[in-house]
Amino acid sequence: MGESLSISFSNWTTYLQRTRRNGVDENISFKPVKTKRAFEEVCDQIRLAIQEGRLEAGDKLPAERQLAEALDVSRATVREAFRTLEIAGVLSLRKGVNGGAVVMQGDVRPITQTISDLLSLGGLSLSDYMEARVCLQREVIKLACARGEEADFQALETNIDETEKLTTAAQVEDRTALTIEFYHLLAAATKNQAMSILMAAVTEPLGYYIKQIGVDRSWNVAESRRRFVAHLRARNAPEAEKEMMSHMERLHGYMLQRTAAAADRRS
């Protein structure tokens, strides 16, 4: 009979040495089997109920005590599951008499925060981030040119006017918020919800990043953006893309320059 596979952690090294002597490939590695923690099981059950349509956006989950009894877990376990799903944007935890855990419509913020954290911690390079942003932007422009309506173009023009006023007044934080909004409005013109979500995911981190490196206060993008919207309105996707890529190339060059300068100061 072969050796038992029920191996304790205490004799794990001895087991590996013995099997190697018996001719087992040294490249084979084993990992201990891990059982999910209780709160993760609760999260999985709630997510499954949403996927199967038993829970929908706006539905209120049972109280902690009731859910704990139904799942045969502690209230602390349910509480931890709720907090985990809140961070993930699945649930909203409301306080008060009519409070509780409510299923959300969906929230892109956890995704944007993850990308921002990856950029800050070095898990995602600025160059890779910018390349992905450019690729997505090209597709958004094509769809916005084909599907955008006059109301979309007017919303973009209103955004440009407001941004220009803030540029003159040197209100950097509000100006950055409007810059991010411009890309949201552009994505909305595609009439594709997935594109809007993806655009938010790759654009929101830009705001976090600009807060870290600062912004060129003298940079007025109004004229370029007005030309861009004019091309959209004319359904001229190549010229619209050319105008936007010129702007993005300048922005990305500035970001790389400021990031390198900040790194030099730290070294």
The model's confidence at residue 152, banded by pLDDT at 50, 70 and 90, is very high
Domain ranges of the chain: 1-106, 109-266
| Dist CA 40 CA 128 (whole Å) | 32
Cα 61 versus chain centre, distance = 26
Q: Does domain 109-266 have CATH number 1.20.120.530?
A: yes
Specify the pLDDT at position 12.
38
CB 144 within 8 A of CB 189: yes
Looking at the DSSP assignment, which residues form a beta bridge with residue 81? Answer: none
Q: Is the dihedral of CA 85, 86, 88, 90 positive or negative?
A: positive
Task: Note the pLDDT tens digit of each residue in 35-81.
Answer: 678 899 999 999 998 998 898 988 999 999 999 999 899 999 999 99
What tokens does 142 get?
Answer: 């094509």
> By C-alpha distance, which of 5, 74, 6, 86 is closest to 46?
86
Residue of 47, 40, 41, 15 whose CA lies nearest to 29? 15
Q: Tokens 């005590």 map to which residue?
A: 65
pLDDT-wise least confident of 187-191, 211-215, 226-230:
211-215
pLDDT at residue number 226:
97
pLDDT at 156: 98
Using CB atoms within 10 Å of the CB of residue 43, give its burial: 0 to 12 exposed, 13 to 18 middle, 19+ buried: buried
The pLDDT of residue 81 is 93
Mean pLDDT, the chain, integer:
83
Q: What is the pLDDT of residue 198?
A: 93
Question: What are the phi and psi torsion angles at 94 (to 5°)?
Answer: -105, 140
- pTM (two decimals): 0.69
Query: Can you give the pLDDT at residue 17?
Result: 46
- pLDDT of 93: 93
- Measured CA to CA, the distance from residue 239 to residue 248 in angstroms comes to 14
Q: What is the pLDDT of residues 170-182, one digit of tens each?
A: 677 788 889 899 9
Query: Hey, which CATH number is domain 1-106, 3.30.230.10, 1.10.569.10, 3.40.50.10710, 1.10.10.10?
Result: 1.10.10.10
% of residues, the chain, pLDDT over 70: 81
Instruction: Tell me the per-residue pLDDT of 17-37, one tens digit each, with 9 for 90 and over.
Output: 444 444 444 554 455 545 678
What are the tokens at 253? 């060059």
Question: Mean pLDDT across the stretch 97-119?
Answer: 85
Rounded distance between C-alpha atoms, residue 120 and residue 60, angstroms: 36
Kindly indicate the confidence band of residue 134, based on its pLDDT and cuts at 50, 70 and 90: very high
Would you list the DSSP string of the chain?
-PPPS---GGGHHHHHHHHHHTT--TT-------PPPHHHHHHHHHHHHHHTTSS-TTPBPPPHHHHHHHHTS-HHHHHHHHHHHHHTTSEEEE-STT-EEEE-S--SHHHHHHHHHHHHHTSS-HHHHHHHHHHHHHHHHHHHHHH--HHHHHHHHHHHHHHHHHHHTT-HHHHHHHHHHHHHHHHHTTT-HHHHHHHHHHHHHHHHHHHHH---TT---HHHHHHHHHHHHTT-HHHHHHHHHHHHHHHHHHHHHHHHHHHHHH-
Q: What is the pLDDT of residue 224?
A: 94
Q: In terms of pLDDT, which residue wins out, 200 or 167?
A: 200
